[in-house]
A and B are shown apart, each in its own frame.
Chain A
Amino acid sequence: GAGVSQSPSNKVTEKGKDVELRCDPISGHTALYWYRQSLGQGLEFLIYFQGNSAPDKSGLPSDRFSAERTGGSVSTLTIQRTQQEDSAVYLCASSLVGSWTGELFFGEGSRLTVL
């Protein structure tokens, strides 16, 4: 597809379970970002990938959160032992590195609900 694709679009899980969220960026975009948006709140930066490496993991809220990116393309955000406060929309974005506009293109998000 032409845009950023995220899956699942909705995920309901029980407290304590692990979840994986997937992001497929726009082809050719080497930069990939994960953000979290709680209801009525702004975008909270989680992690940034340049290629397969993550120069900035400063936003990950706890060691229950991890992310990886393989092949310079698809990324997975994993949340272990989910808690109710993890409920949010997880947004992935990609951009062209070196693009002076720096525009981020977002996916539609994965809405996570932890019961």
Chain B
Amino acid sequence: RKEVEQDPGPFNVPEGATVAFNCTYSNSASQSFFWYRQDCRKEPKLLMSVYSSGNEDGRFTAQLNRASQYISLLIRDSKLSDSATYLCAVRGYTGGFKTIFGAGTRLFVKA
């Protein structure tokens, strides 16, 4: 089983739609959780960290469920510019802080 698993998609949604991505992780000792965005042929960049109480940044909402080892990202009112790959990342301590990424979920927002 992979340490971090995501549905690869692709998700094809119209502008204005709400879309949700899920991610599960296997290491119950994981400490920090993140969503990164990667545009085509570019490097990943942090979209948002995921906090235990859930957190929101504009149209983006992240949730963490430690009991189920599950992370989610909700995008409301999708824009064309949201088209990208969204990578779930999990950080834990194994003699040092190690961050493992999921394979990513591709999102296409259509006009």
- Chain A: residues with CB nearer than 8 A to chain B? 31, 33, 35, 41-43, 45, 48, 50, 55-56, 91, 95, 97, 100-104, 106-109
Contacts and interface: CB of A to CB of B under 8 A. Distances in A.
Given A103-B46, A106-B43, A107-B43, A48 B98 contact: yes
Contact of A31 (B45, B94, B97): B97
Interface of B: 6, 32, 34, 36, 42-46, 49, 87, 89, 91, 94-104
A50 B101 CA distance: 19
Contact of B91 (A56, A102, A106): A102
A77 B101 CA distance: 20
Q: Which of A33, A102, A107 has most B Cβ within 10 Å?
A: A102
Contact of A97 (B42, B44, B97): B97
B99 A102 contact: yes
Contacts of A56: 94-96, 98
Given A43-B87, A108-B43, A109-B43, A103 B94 contact: no
13 contacts: A42-B6, A42-B102, A42-B103, A50-B97, A55-B94, A56-B96, A56-B98, A102-B99, A103-B34, A104-B36, A104-B99, A108-B42, A109-B43
Contacts of B42: 108
